[in-house]
Amino acid sequence: MACANIVASLAEGVSVVDSSIAGLGGCPYAKGASGNVATEDVVYMLEGMGIETGVDMGRLLEAGWYISDVLGRDPASNA
């Protein structure tokens, strides 16, 4: 759902969005808020839409896997 919201925001002129590598994070006060939109998914989507991000996807994925491995979990990214 987050990526769909980002697309809608872009259509309204938003040019900066927040994301989190490997989808890490969340809100301890909101039940079910298990994480954030993965930066990997956002970059993949934007690049697929023809929007240049300047992000090296290979290095981004590598960093996501690294931190996820350190934390003992799988990345939340689908990219």
Cite the active site residues.
27
| 52 CB-near residues (< 8 Å, 6+ apart) | none
**Residue 52 burial by Cβ neighbours in a 10 Å radius (0-12, 13-18, 19+):** exposed
Residue 57: how many CA atoms within 13 Å on its side-chain side? 14
Say if residues 38 and 21 touch (Cβ distance below 8 Å). yes
